[in-house]
Structure 1
């Protein structure tokens, strides 16, 4: 049988290679065995807009139902945060989301959710994977599967988390690029449900299994059309971008300028603080130091975790977390489920613009002034021949890290998750393998875009690529 590898957030593979109905059945059976082992009786299953996602979800649901568990399957595609919300609302023991998130169109995946409505913790994933192939998949029972639709209930939850009175007084424009993914139509639906006068303009809102020719990750190289459209707009208009399953968020400002995930994180943190909310700030290893500096100015504790939202979920479950986020644009906030929610975050960004009267760019400039730090960031995704090559390169970096990159010396090395080199002048560069693809990612932050380019060039040279 195929060896199935579980990364930072579940199992992902190429459709028809390892991502097959037979392998989905194996994982579904392990899920059912795990849920029964903890005394659970109900499982929620959702799916995104990828090729065959609905059929993979139906197959997984039929396998789990054949084990005597009650299974609630979404009537249509749903964003991951909606599936996670459904787990809590329906008091399920676990949730499954059939999605490969931001991976290329040829991938699909299997995310597991805990009973609290967020990414499964490492302990839950261990409990499930330990049971993989312990018993053969049960004979599917599709007739035992029930359907759910919580669109209105989810909208009511969003309405509790945003300042509706402020949003109702705003009649400006907001763009939403769903990238052909599961977020399509959901923000527009909320605007109608809440009775907002907002002029919501959708791009790529119709589901598309090939995501209109790009991978559904909200980073600059995938947003050419949106950036061209926004080039004619003026502040404070901006576009919110959601990834393939709408748990991550990106943004493009008026004029077509990309507003990265670190900037979004900082603006949301500052906005929540201004709303009177307090708590710990949780960030993954690859997030900008401007978040640390802002939290310090606001008197808030910062917790740094390995990369993967499941580690942030762990901190949410401990309590007293204001906001938690990762470089990829997955951000969770206090008062909601312990989960990334690109739709809620889009509304909170709009709320920040409406209540301050300042564009996102102006708000971030204020944060730079407050912290005394100028932020520039970029990332390389380097394709390698195989996972083995990727792992060999990472082993070499850990055993013999560079002592300098170009003119900059390496002052210290951290290996919490990957290899992070702290350089002179306050810059840093992080080398980390992808958990789902034969990629080696290189992240860099410095105080100047030109310096970031130089450092990434030297980092690539240090890898011999």
Structure 2
């Protein structure tokens, strides 16, 4: 069964991620292109995962056989670069073969529509329905010559244009005069080449670890969590670097180690960048955050007389709302963010350059800037747990426990549009199903010196979960 979630189609290689299913999805796309009279040009790119390039060529085969032109990026490519290409080339459809930050045994497909935006649920539901009805296109899996020799297939490279577009929005001259030293950990993913070019343009010294092509990601899950960034933390301290930057597998999420070797939670990165844009760049505009992201952003926004918009999880929801309200920045607690004027989707490479610019423009270290934010707006603790279920078990579980959550005492507001979120003056708890993995996630935010543990224990008991059973998420 082909199933699209909040981050596209993702599945275990050899289980649901197969040539059969990939060609069925491609046939679904052909049907939509023909029925909707979309432009018959599609940009296709891929990451460094096992079978990514092959799957990209399988999609190309189905499209070119239908006389649809394919612009094929013939090297592992950051997902944001593909989105940039769709937007700047004024194309109606882009395809990225990636499972983003999922474990190495996964692969998947992300789809982008006109303007380089993530395909919305209506579109992916339609692809899913058509794909599950489609018949496999049969051809030799390794017959790549017939694919690349098609008159409808051509190689395409937009890497320099993408890098130049980012550089044009960053104060590279000011960075160049600041002697900034950067540590980079792409976690065996695809950000390294683009960031090396950008750091060179800004005359930064960059030291890189974990840059080789390894489809197993060094035995790690390719996401910049605390557990995965211990090596970068030591690297920053050992080499007295100004900042350590990490990106996930397809480079749309970012992780940060400050100059003192402390990891900034994605919430803290968002706080820091939004504050910098308002206080130092003197920009204005609302912020869009998802339902599981820190409410300290609300304090920052209100301090500068800006609005805050909360949306369900899924960056497509953030992108759509940003366009609607002309937001300055949008972001999520999992490390994705974008800023007005760049692409309509998250970009870890662009975010990295904004952070480096921040050091140069303010003349302050990341640790000093973060302390400035905390002194002004306070700090909180984020508690994150996850419980593994099958997809069907998760849905049944959540439906059965809605009433238990609603009956939990001491909360002023209940939000049900993406999972269940309980809010009071100083705390909130969210229980929701992951849209990309078979997980139930619980997230809570409390004051740094506050205590929500008792309420959380009661909640876990009502959900028939036990404290300690869930996996702590060290973000």
Does the Cα contact within 8 Å between 2:259 and 2:366 map onto a contact in 1? no
**Alignment-derived partner of residue 168 in structure 1:** 176
1:133 Cα deviation after fit: 4.5
1:413 aligned residue: 414
CA distance in 1, matches of 2:103, 2:443: 20
* 2: CA distance, partners of 1:224 / 1:34: 45
Given candidates 149, 166, 170, the residue that maps to 1:158 is: 166
Matched with 1:359 is 365
Q: Map 1:21-100 onto structure 2 (within 5 A).
A: 21-39=19-37, 40-100=39-99
The equivalent residue for 2:440 is: 440
Structure 1, residues 210-257: CA drift from partner, whole Å, max 9, x if none? 1111111111122222223234465x7121111010001111123332
Alignment CA distance shift 1:375-1:182 (3 Å):
same
2:2–2:131: 8 Å Cα contact kept in structure 1? no
Q: Deviations over 1:72-94 (max 9, x none)?
A: 11110000001111112332211
1:393 correspondence with 2:394: no
Alignment of 1:189-228 (within 5 A): 189-192=197-200, 194=201, 196-228=202-234
- Pairs within 5 Å for 1:331-342: 331-342=337-348
Q: Which residue of 2 aligns with 1:121?
A: 120
Distance in 2 separating the partners of 1:206 and 1:454: 46
- Report which stretch shifted further, 135-144 or 291-300: 135-144
Separation of aligned partners in 2, 1:321 and 1:459: 35
Quote the offset at 1:118 in angstroms: 2.1
TM-score (norm 2): 0.90
**Unaligned 5+ residue runs, structure 1?**
none
The 1:450/1:174 distance shift into structure 2, 3 A limit, reads farther
Measured in 2, the distance between the counterparts of 1:360 and 1:383 equals 36
How far the C-alpha of 1:319 sits from its partner, in A, is 5.3
Q: Does the alignment pair 1:422 with 2:423?
A: yes
User: Residue 254 of structure 2 aligns with which residue?
Assistant: 249
Q: Note the alpha carbon deviations across 1:161-182, whole angstroms, 9 max, x for none.
A: 1111111112221111111112
> What are the superposed Cα offsets for residues 149-195 of structure 1, whole Å, 9 maximum, x if unpaired?
11111111011111111111122211111111121332112223x2x
Aligned mates of 2:81, 2:70 — CA distance in 1? 16
Contact 1:232/1:254 (<8 A) preserved: no
Q: TM-score, normalised by structure 1?
A: 0.92
| SS of match in other structure, 2:43 | strand
Whole-angstrom CA distance in 1 between matches of 2:457 and 2:403: 21
Measured at CA, do residues 356 and 72 of structure 1 come closer, stay the same or move farther in structure 2, by a change above 3 Å?
A: same
Give yes or no for the alignment of 1:259 onto 2:267. no
Q: State the aligned residue count.
A: 454
Is the 2:21–2:136 contact (alpha carbons within 8 Å) kept by the matching residues of 1? no
Maintained 8 Å contact 2:256/2:264: yes
Distance across 2 between alignment mates of 1:7 and 1:365? 37
Contact 2:406 2:414 survives alignment (8 Å): no
Cα distance 1:62–1:216, how it changes in 2: closer, same or farther (>3 A)? same
Aligned-pair distance for 1:343?
0.3
Structure 1 residues 297 and 356 mapped into 2: Cα distance closer, same or farther (>3 Å)? same
Once the two structures are superposed, what CA deviation does each residue of 1:23-59 show, in whole Å capped at 9, x if it has no partner? 0001111112212323221100111111111111111
Instruction: Report the Cα distance in structure 2 between the residues aligned to 1:429 and 1:182, rounded to whole angstroms.
Output: 34
